[in-house]
Amino acid sequence: MRMVAALATLAAALTAGLPGAPAQASPAPPVGENVSLVTTNGAATFKLCRNWVFTHTCREYGNVAVPARIAPGDSFEITFGSNPKTIWFRVKSVLLQDGRCLLIPRHEDMPANGEDEPVDMLIVDPCRVLR
């Protein structure tokens, strides 16, 4: 057990000190108000997070095309990256936060209390809520 703790400490020290090492992920935004339907300008930022054994990393891909109207339960393809990758994005929930909309995919468990865990999401800024 002490060996695992020592390895975790060593890995954290090495990751923090190496140039070019992935930066520690920024905390997930606090959970905002759930909304049912939003309109977009057709573009979003895709935040893709990965859990490595000792750390989390997130990368943002800008200028991702999204539909003009989005609601929970919708599914659509998104293409991102300089070497384009296409995935099917299934919207689990739409959260309004500071004038932008956070589209949470079905595979994510968004922390209910805003814990600082990285979460995959599409960030639509600006967005307009239709009620």
pLDDT at residue number 12: 52
Stated as kind and residue range, the H or E segment containing 55 is: none
| CA–CA gap between residue 117 and residue 104 (Å, rounded) | 13
Copy the structure tokens of residue 9.
Answer: 């400490």
Gap between the Cα atoms of 35 and 88, Å rounded? 21
Q: How far apart are the first and last CA of the chain?
A: 53
Tell me the mean pLDDT per 10 residues along the chain, length 131: 47 47 41 82 94 88 97 96 96 89 84 59 92 68
Cα 20 to Cα 16, 54, 57, 58: the distances in Å are: 10, 16, 13, 14
Q: Say if CB 121 and CB 109 are below 8 A apart.
A: no
d(CA 77, CA 66): 8
The pLDDT value recorded for residue 77 is 97
Global pTM value: 0.69
Q: What are φ and ψ of residue 74, in 5° steps?
A: -70, 150
